[in-house]
Amino acid sequence: MDFKGLWTTIKKNAIHLFKKARKAIKRYIRKLVKHTKAGDYSVLIYTIFALVALILIIVMFANIFSLGGKKKSTLDITTTEVATPADVTEDPQIAAQMALKQQAMDIYSRNKDFIFLVDENHPLAEGYSFEHHTLNCGLDIDKRIYNDFSEMLNACNMAGYEYNIINAYIDKATQTELYNSAVAHYVDQGLLEEEAQAQVGKSVDKPGCSEHETGLAIDLTDVEVLGEEDYKSTRGTDQWLMNNCHKYGFINRYPANKVSVTGVSDEQWQFRYVGREAAEFMAANNLSLEEFMELVQ
């Protein structure tokens, strides 16, 4: 398109129009003077009316546009000397916190199926069930997370890392066995049942209180990790998973920098599905699941 040519045409037309308007106004003034001199005041009166109306319209539009802006009248300035709730939200830090909360609540409302706490204080709902998908390794996960999970593992492989799936779904009966044998271990050493339970603490979850019962939690490590004592979280695969899991809807469930919030220090290899939107949000804002839940309360 020839913009230069277009501009010349517009300019030419504008000048032409301006000349025409000037001629019309001159003609009108001549007519006004002629009629008024002849003692006919009708044209003069009409002109005055038209000018007043034009001024009123301009003032009206000016008011509408200035009200749209944040211009305060003198009355507002005297009243805002007293702090009001509206002024509090103008504090940028509080406003940012409120915006973050709103965003979290929106994300939560769209992903409730995957975002909930399961721990000692939040037992899984009685009869909680989901459609299972059995992985090649023989472990089960929630079928809804399979696509994202396999995409993450493929990306991990593509990045040159080898992983090992340690744990996925654990049914309640197995969790009960795990828990009971952990307690029995301490009872055998001479502790009372209650003392033994306290000793087990958070290292083995009580039945109904393990995230693994949801099918949304997976223990995942570098292929070279032999066991809990051998886990360092500094191997390539573990680092890759921690840094990239959020892109696939997972969060590192018990990271080292959140032990004070989660109370779990020996499960850095656990990843938990919360959905892509929520995982991205939690990673970007450095939030654990506990902190996210507190934000949406």
Q: Which is nearer to Zn ion, 175 or 270 (CB)?
A: 270
Q: CA-to-CA distance for 99 and 105, rounded, in angstroms? A: 10
Reported as type and span, the H/E element at residue 217 is strand 217-222
Q: Which residues contact 35 (CB under 8 A, 6 or more apart)?
A: 41, 42, 43, 44
Q: CA-to-CA distance for 86 and 97, rounded, in angstroms? A: 15
Least Å distance, CB 118 to Zn ion, is: 11
**DSSP structure string for 65-129:** HHHHTTPPPHHHHHHTTS--HHHHTTSHHHHHHHHHHHHHHHHHHH-TTT----BTTBPPPTT--
Q: Which is nearer to Zn ion, 104 or 200 (CB)?
A: 200
Determine the residue with CB nearest Zn ion. 270
Least Å distance, CB 214 to Zn ion, is: 11
Least Å distance, CB 207 to Zn ion, is: 15
**Bridge partners, 133 (sequence order):** 141
Least Å distance, CB 265 to Zn ion, is: 13
Q: CA-to-CA distance for 64 and 190, rounded, in angstroms? A: 83
Torsion of CA 124, 126, 131, 133, to 10 degrees: 50
Q: Indicate the angle between helix axes 289-296 and 276-284, nearest 10 degrees.
A: 100
Q: Which is nearer to Zn ion, 262 or 270 (CB)?
A: 270
Q: CA-to-CA distance for 266 and 260, rounded, in angstroms? A: 13
Least Å distance, CB 121 to Zn ion, is: 18
Q: Which is nearer to Zn ion, 107 or 262 (CB)?
A: 262
The binding site for Zn ion (CB under 5 A) comprises 219, 270
Q: Which is nearer to Zn ion, 168 or 295 (CB)?
A: 168
Q: Which is nearer to Zn ion, 268 or 278 (CB)?
A: 268
Q: Tell the residue number behind the tokens 């009869």, with chain if given.
A: 127
Q: CA-to-CA distance for 31 and 29, rounded, in angstroms? A: 5
Q: Which is nearer to Zn ion, 252 or 270 (CB)?
A: 270
Q: Which is nearer to Zn ion, 104 or 139 (CB)?
A: 139
Least Å distance, CB 140 to Zn ion, is: 14
Least Å distance, CB 259 to Zn ion, is: 15
Least Å distance, CB 219 to Zn ion, is: 4
CB 86 within 8 A of CB 72: no
